Amino acid sequence: MIRVFLVLLFIVNTHVSLAEEVSFTTVDNATIYANFQQRGPHAVLLAHGAIFNKDSWGEFEQQLLAENLTVLAIDFRGYSKSTQGSKAQALYEDVLAGVRFLRKQSGVSKVSVLGASMGAVAAEKASVYSKDKEIDQLILLSLPRAYKPEELKGQLLFIASKDEYLAKIVKSAFIKAPEPKTLELIDGKAHAQHIFKTSQAKLLTSIIINFLKNSSPVNSK
């Protein structure tokens, strides 16, 4: 039994142990730590929710890697070893620093950002303040509040559970956002990364991967 437990523990923690921990500095001098795994030329930055961290993406992160996607999962300032900068609550700067880290990596030619809940707010604001073509695709999972959605850049994907309390905010932001954009509403009421713990995890993963690969949506609104 002990041997079986150790094998299972190894499998669960493999995605963390195989990642390279990297760090980079934001424009306001915060130091951001992240798990970095380089695969193909398309990179995805993962921005976690308030009660999560860079190690919380689990099987979903493994699915991205299996699709030959390079992954950078960040810890926001104030989480784990990541430190605060001179700007209060400037989480969007953490995302922008991560995007610029990826842009400097040899072989990376496309950058997408996926933000969940708190991370979605940071990702949305990062898109508004980003330079043209810095962020090719933006995925906002259970966005809790909108920040200038009409100024978002690149291909946009909004996702929420149909019955979660934030669904109206997500729909409103989607309406105001520019094309090209897609809205996906999933059955249930789970919020953001919590959806990965439900029976809708496979569907959510498929929606995101199809979007990243510029395929047609797999879920009808």
Give the CATH number, domain containing residue 152. Answer: 3.40.50.1820
CB atoms within 10 A of CB 110: 18
Q: Which two tokens stand for residue 138?
A: 């933006």
What's the average model confidence in pLDDT over 91-104?
98
Cβ-count burial 140-164 (b if 16+ within 10 Å, e if not): bbbbbebbebeebbbbbbbbbbeeb
How far, CA to CA in Å, does 142 sit from each of 111, 117, 181?
Answer: 21, 5, 15
Q: Please name the residue that has the structure tokens 């929710």.
A: 49
φ, ψ for residue 174 (rounded to 5)?
-60, -45
Q: Is residue 3 in some structural domain?
A: no
Lowest-pLDDT range of 17-31, 119-133, 148-162, 168-182: 17-31
Q: What is the mean pLDDT of residues 93-119?
A: 98
33 in any annotated domain: yes
What is the residue range of 164's domain?
20-212
Residue-wise pLDDT for 24-34, tens only, equals 999 999 999 99
Does residue 10 form part of some domain? no
In a domain, 9, yes or no: no
The CA R_g of the chain, rounded to the nearest whole Å, is 17
Evaluate whether residue 221 is within a structural domain: no
Who contacts 9 (Cβ-Cβ below 8 Å, separation ≥6)? none
**Whether 14 contacts 6, CB under 8 Å:** no
Residue 163 lies in a domain: yes
| 13 within some domain | no
Alpha-carbon gap, residue 166 to 204, rounded angstroms: 17
Residue 39 pLDDT = 97
In this predicted model, what pLDDT tens digit does every residue of 196-216 receive, in sequence order?
Answer: 999 999 999 999 999 999 844
**Counted domains in the chain:** 1
Residue 8 lies in a domain: no
